[in-house]
Amino acid sequence: MLPTLTLTALAVLPVVQGAPFTSSPAHLYKRCGPVGQFYNQKTSDWDDKKTGNWLDNWWNANGDLMSGSSAGFAGAFGQWAMGNPDWTCRDDGSDSDCDLQLCDNRVLNDRGDDIRPAYYVLESVNRLHMYFKGIGEAFTVSALDAALSKDSWATTFYKDKDDKSVTALKEVLNAVATVVGIGAAFAGLAGPEAAAVAGAESALLAGAVGAANLAVGEHQDDTFEKSADLGKILGSVVTDSLKSFTSANNDLMSGKTYDDDDIRAYISGGAFLAYPGVDKNAVTDAMTNMLEGIAINQLYRTQKIFVMGGAACGDAQGIGGGPWEASVCRDGKAWYLYYWQENDVISTTSHQWGWVASPPGADQLGKNEFSGVKIEDIINSSLDAYNVAGYDYTAEKGSERASDALSNSWANPGSQGASWEGIFTVPVCDIGGAVDADYQLKDYILQPYGHDSRPVWCGPICGGDLQKTKDFINAANMGGFKSPKHLCDQDPGY
Ligand SMILES: *[C@@H]1O[C@H](CO)[C@@H](O)[C@H](O)[C@H]1NC(C)=O
């Protein structure tokens, strides 16, 4: 998308052959005055020209102008840079209060050395305003509703014979707050220069998480029936969150802080200098995939569902073999997604011990309405969460990690969607050490899916550590569950 400013400027020019946007600064200069030579700015120009320092100095020197303006910072800056004290950039339904009238603007064109940085700030503020408008439009109730309101939600992903009908929403809602923050940061990512705009990304994340926490607070004591529409609850939390986040626009424009940051953090690094606008489809897709993941995870975490692996990919190592159709090979090690299904009729055959199978609804993943969530995502996301926090990857941890990923530029959580760390927290058991251990019947530690497949775990199979194995068993809802050890000569102790 082209910067609107350039379009306006070019509209009055004769058609120029070739690539007019990069090859005709002279035309622009002639038409618009000195400011024209700074058009077509790049994100990196902000730091290259030390615009952040310039803005700090301006801010410190113009406190009186800001406090004297009814529109605070934006009004004061609009007046100083463009002679327009009505430049409020507020979200009050009017379309024109953040417009840039720069071409031949005498106030701006008389500012000498300040023309460039003043222009960069004007452009960034204008585009930050466009970001807030765009994000409000991306997260419409109807888009999220369509994606998340599925009648079959819980019946698809929940089959346990125990009817765990009511679940506290607290933890899942806190995780939703992080997803809202990730979505807001993702919507603001200007392009490849992630490191330069890390500060702005962190501000967007923190601001949106703060807004989401307000919305979450109102639902904190809710519970939901497993058959009720979890998707609808999540959708409304997200839209409530974004309503309160877009109100951040007004605070920032007026020069106030929002969740500890003022507008300078939001536009730092040139994050919005060349910002092309919210890619609404990409953002809604990423958000719905993450929200679907969180909802599925919530249902899976109440059932006997787990990830097991850690031995060589594809090699028979004497500990059995898992279901290849639900596996991921990472760093030479294979990991499988399992569900230990209990028999639902009284039986005296070995089927009384249940069998391992594909988790409820897993056959629906990766296609149709759940095309954005794959079995691989569940395994990758759960493994990453386990590697960071074992069986205790809390919502708080998730928020801290997303923030760290953005501020230190080691990942872009939004672009990973449902595979982002901690969207899934299915308990992981690393049985790699069993290859060299002498557990009884260790040939049966891993089994493929099947009505006659019953894994046998006669030892501290997870990391060769009894406590770890106990923790895994409990995390996977198998405390007191005899099936995996009923063939062992001695109780393995978990
Ligand atoms: C899962 O992780 C593996 C190894 O890091 C990677 O190759 C694969 O693309 C990941 N899958 C998804 C769906 O992210």
Paired residues of 229 in beta bridges = none
Q: What does the pLDDT look like over 332-370, one tens digit per residue? A: 999 999 999 998 888 889 999 999 999 999 999 999 889
E strand or H helix that includes residue 347: none
Asked if residue 415 belongs to a domain, the reply is: no
Is the shortest distance between the CB of 419 and ligand 1 below 6 Å? yes
Say yes or no: 269 and 312 in one domain.
no
Nearest residue (by CA) to ligand 1, atom 5, is 330
Say yes or no: 268 and 333 in one domain.
no
Q: What is the Cα gyration radius of the chain?
A: 28
Q: What is the pLDDT of residue 191?
A: 57
Alpha helices (H) along 279-394 = 280-300, 375-389
Say yes or no: 298 and 310 in one domain.
no
Is the shortest distance between the CB of 384 and ligand 1 below 6 Å? no
Paired residues of 312 in beta bridges = 333
* Tokens found for residue 71: 């529109």
How close is the Cα of 336 to the center of ligand 1, in Å? 13
Q: What does the pLDDT look like over 420-439, one tens digit per residue? A: 999 999 999 999 999 999 99
CA dist., res. 270 & res. 120, Å (int): 8
Contact 251, 315 (CB under 8 A): no
> Which of 244, 252, 260, 249 has its CA nearest to residue 206?
260
Q: What is the pLDDT of residue 111?
A: 97
How close is the Cα of 411 to the center of ligand 1, in Å? 14
Question: DSSP secondary structure string, 18-73?
Answer: S-HHHH-HHHHHHHH-GGGGG-S--HHHHHHTTHHHHHHHHHHHTHHHHHHSTTHH
Asked if residue 109 belongs to a domain, the reply is: yes
Mean pLDDT, rounded, for 451-465: 97
Asked if residue 409 belongs to a domain, the reply is: no
Q: What is the pLDDT of residue 21?
A: 42
Asked if residue 422 belongs to a domain, the reply is: no
CA dist., res. 485 & res. 64, Å (int): 75
Is the shortest distance between the CB of 219 and ligand 1 below 6 Å? no
Residue 479 is which amino acid?
G
Residue 453 is which amino acid?
S
* pLDDT band with cut points at 50, 70 and 90 for residue 30: low
Longest CA–CA span in the chain (Å) reads 92
CA dist., res. 454 & res. 353, Å (int): 8
Mean pLDDT, rounded, for 227-233: 65
Range of the domain at 3: 1-32
Say yes or no: 195 and 229 in one domain.
yes
Contact 462, 468 (CB under 8 A): yes
How close is the Cα of 325 to the center of ligand 1, in Å? 14
Q: What is the pLDDT of residue 340?
A: 97
How close is the Cα of 376 to the center of ligand 1, in Å? 7
pLDDT(3) > 50: no
* Pocket residue to mutate for ligand 1, from 331, 336, 376, 416, most atoms within 8 A of Cβ: 376
How close is the Cα of 482 to the center of ligand 1, in Å? 34
Mean pLDDT, rounded, for 159-179: 69
**What is the pLDDT of the chain when averaged over all its residues?**
87
Asked if residue 219 belongs to a domain, the reply is: yes
Residue 337 is which amino acid?
L
Residues 6+ apart with CB under 8 A from 411: 405, 420
Quote the number of domains for the chain. Answer: 3
Is the shortest distance between the CB of 376 and ligand 1 below 6 Å? yes
* Pocket residue to mutate for ligand 1, from 307, 327, 328, 365, most atoms within 8 A of Cβ: 328
Asked if residue 396 belongs to a domain, the reply is: no
Q: Which of 41-50, 167-176, 192-201, 289-298 has the highest mean pLDDT?
A: 41-50
Residue with tokens 């102790």: 493
Say yes or no: 58 and 5 in one domain.
no
pLDDT(411) > 70: yes
Say yes or no: 192 and 337 in one domain.
no
* Tokens found for residue 343: 């028999």
pLDDT(4) > 80: no
How close is the Cα of 412 to the center of ligand 1, in Å? 15
Is the shortest distance between the CB of 124 and ligand 1 below 6 Å? no
Mean pLDDT, rounded, for 142-170: 67
Q: What is the pLDDT of residue 6?
A: 39
Say which DSSP state 445 is in.
Answer: S
* Tokens found for residue 468: 């770890």
Question: DSSP secondary structure string, 245-276?
Answer: HHTHHHHHHTT--BTTB-HHHHTGGGTTTT--
Q: What is the pLDDT of residue 115?
A: 98
Contact 318, 170 (CB under 8 A): no
* pLDDT band with cut points at 50, 70 and 90 for residue 382: very high
Say yes or no: 65 and 170 in one domain.
yes
Among 23-32, 332-341, 402-411, the least confident range: 23-32
Contact 264, 81 (CB under 8 A): no
Q: What is the pLDDT of residue 54?
A: 98
Contact 418, 409 (CB under 8 A): no
Q: What is the pLDDT of residue 190?
A: 56
Residue with tokens 């011990």: 353
Q: What is the pLDDT of residue 14?
A: 37
Say yes or no: 204 and 339 in one domain.
no
pLDDT(441) > 50: yes
Q: What is the pLDDT of residue 407?
A: 87
* pLDDT band with cut points at 50, 70 and 90 for residue 232: confident
Say yes or no: 26 and 149 in one domain.
no
Asked if residue 337 belongs to a domain, the reply is: yes
Q: What is the pLDDT of residue 150?
A: 67
* Domain finish residue from 253, 287, 303: 303
Mean pLDDT, rounded, for 154-163: 72
Mean pLDDT, rounded, for 261-266: 95
Residue with tokens 């958000």: 287
Say yes or no: 175 and 78 in one domain.
yes
Is the shortest distance between the CB of 471 and ligand 1 below 6 Å? no
Identify how many contiguous H helices and E strands the chain contains and give both numbers: 21, 7
* Domain finish residue from 267, 286, 303: 303
Q: What is the pLDDT of residue 474?
A: 97
* pLDDT band with cut points at 50, 70 and 90 for residue 194: low
Say yes or no: 1 and 87 in one domain.
no
How close is the Cα of 93 to the center of ligand 1, in Å? 44
* Tokens found for residue 469: 């194995």
Asked if residue 216 belongs to a domain, the reply is: yes
* Pocket residue to mutate for ligand 1, from 290, 307, 330, 415, most atoms within 8 A of Cβ: 330
Q: What is the pLDDT of residue 1?
A: 38
Nearest residue (by CA) to ligand 1, atom 1, is 380
How close is the Cα of 330 to the center of ligand 1, in Å? 7
> Which percentage of the chain shows pLDDT scores above 90?
60
Say yes or no: 20 and 53 in one domain.
no
* Tokens found for residue 220: 């904190």
Among 199-208, 211-220, 447-456, the least confident range: 211-220
* Pocket residue to mutate for ligand 1, from 289, 419, 424, 428, most atoms within 8 A of Cβ: 419
Contact 311, 454 (CB under 8 A): no
Is the shortest distance between the CB of 328 and ligand 1 below 6 Å? yes
The CA dihedral of 17, 19, 25, 29, to the nearest 10 degrees, is 50
Q: What is the pLDDT of residue 17?
A: 36
* Domain finish residue from 276, 303, 330: 303
Centroid of chain to Cα 419: 10
Mean pLDDT, rounded, for 451-459: 97
